[in-house]
Amino acid sequence: MAARVEDQRARRGYIGGEFVELEGQERIPVFEASSGEVLAEVTEATPSDVDRAVRAAQRALPEWSARPPAERAAALSSWHQAIEGRAEEFATSISREVGTPIRHSRSIQVGNPLAILAHTADALTSMTFTEQVGNCLVALEPVGVVGAITPWNYPLQQVVAKVAPALAAGCTVVLKASEVAPLTAFILAETAGAAGLPPGTLNVLVGRGELTGEALVTHPLVDKLSFTGSTRAGRRIAELAGSLVRPVTLELGGKSASLVLDDADLATAAKFAVYNAFLNSGQTCTALTRLLVPRARIREAEEVAAATAAKLVPGDPLDEATRLGPLASESQLERVRGYIRLGIEEGARLVCGGAAPPAGRERGYYVQPTIFGDVDPGMTIAQEEIFGPVLCIIGHDGDDHALEIANGTPYGLAGAVWSSDQQRALAVARRLRAGTVEVNGGAFSTEAPFGGVRQSGYGREFGRYGIAEFLTPKSLQL
């Protein structure tokens, strides 16, 4: 039986620097990914709760925005220390809510946010906020009150990636955390208070997008929105924000491709593709879910990929040995299984895996690591984001053909290129329509700009580029 979390924070909201009772009466259950049992219940914030939080952020704005950048950077560094001091608590919460194996929760789900905070503080201290342009003094000023809406798959990283740069810029924030994995956000709120962030600079609520999210998006005192989630939800937010002439940063879905050129080390590239695509059980927007290999070497790629996937045995996310955990929810489970069945119906060939539960894992939200061969680039499984441990292997007939396939979806979030010739790899990478491209396994960076093009969204996060999203220039004509 899952140990139920009886946490009074989860029944409240974090507004004005303290946990407060909400007007909302609706209780939303939070489920343990490994068992499907209720882990906790949270209170859904109503529009009136959102209004309280936004007004708290507005009251805090003048004092916080007036602080020198060095002071704001110091506050972020203190927050970093507070989060680091509770790293294991964060990791355990995320493993239970999302299903991430505990070893990955520590290194990625908690490690990346800590790096983001550190890089944001560093970038802030080196930025210039005024410059002379002709007869004008141009000042970069905080945009104001920020509404941040975050997803469940990386419940700490995606929050910090928005809140840290917004605070660095001098803005104040109202966060709507995902109702699927909300408990992490309440721990984060507690660390914000412990770190000495002024009351109202960060406010935290939980609720569904249709009620709480739309109330935040349309609130008249919100000056800027930042959203990470599905392309469908992003369209809705952009529509609502557009009617209010309100700026938005959108980080949306992806269907990223890993291009293996004919001179590449195929075994290394195929192994990398499997580990990348199945990280966090495939619940990663940048997952390289299409492996594009020279047509003559498809079978070789399939053998390497299948052997690699066989090492990823689904298991308890709190077990130190587990490398592949469950999905985060029942709806996500049914979604992924549906795509696997559809792939088979459309004529793709199962190399390994399938829609049936993994052996011995009938409880919880587990899916077999699944690889498809004989995939046509136009198939649904090669065009749509599945968000589960599913990899499509597709043959190509050279660099131009590989690029045609890679760029042949509506998305443009990430990609990868593999070649023994670094300059050739870079030339191909430049032709990929994507915001981030890994070249020969280059490491993911939390200080370089991150974001997508086309239906993967617009705007950037991380480092000085992320801070810039929350600044607006003012020309003082002298």
Whole-Å CA distances, 455 to 236, 240, 380, 452, 463: 13, 17, 16, 8, 23
Asked if 116 contacts 157 with a C-beta cutoff of 8 angstroms, the reply is yes
Structure tokens at 169: 């810029």
Burial of 431 (0-12, 13-18, 19+ CB in 10 A): middle
Question: Could you say which of 32, 44, 214, 285 is catalytic?
Answer: 285
Cβ-based neighbour number of residue 444 at 10 Å? 14
Contact indicator for 58, 28 with CB cutoff of 8 Å: no
Pairing of β 248-251 and β 224-228 = parallel
On the CB side of 120, CA atoms within 13 Å amount to: 34
User: Can 285 be counted among the known catalytic residues?
Assistant: yes
Q: Which helix (H) or strand (E) holds 305?
A: helix 298-310
Q: Of these residues, 251, 302, 438, 469, which one is catalytic?
A: 251
Active-site residue, 171 included:
no
Question: What Rg value do the Cα atoms of the chain yield, rounded?
Answer: 22
Q: Which residue has the tokens 């979604």?
A: 335
The full DSSP string for 329-343 is -HHHHHHHHHHHHHH
The arrangement of strands across the sheet holding 349-352 comes to 349-352, 370-373, 390-396, 288-294, 256-260, 414-418, 436-439
Angle, CA 139 vertex, CA 135 and CA 145 arms, to 5°: 150
Q: Which of 283, 239, 287 is nearest to 97 (CA)?
A: 283
Integer Cα distance of 304 and 307 in angstroms: 5
Instruction: Measure the CA–CA gap between 3 and 37, rounded to whole angstroms.
Output: 9
Active-site residue numbers? Answer: 251, 285
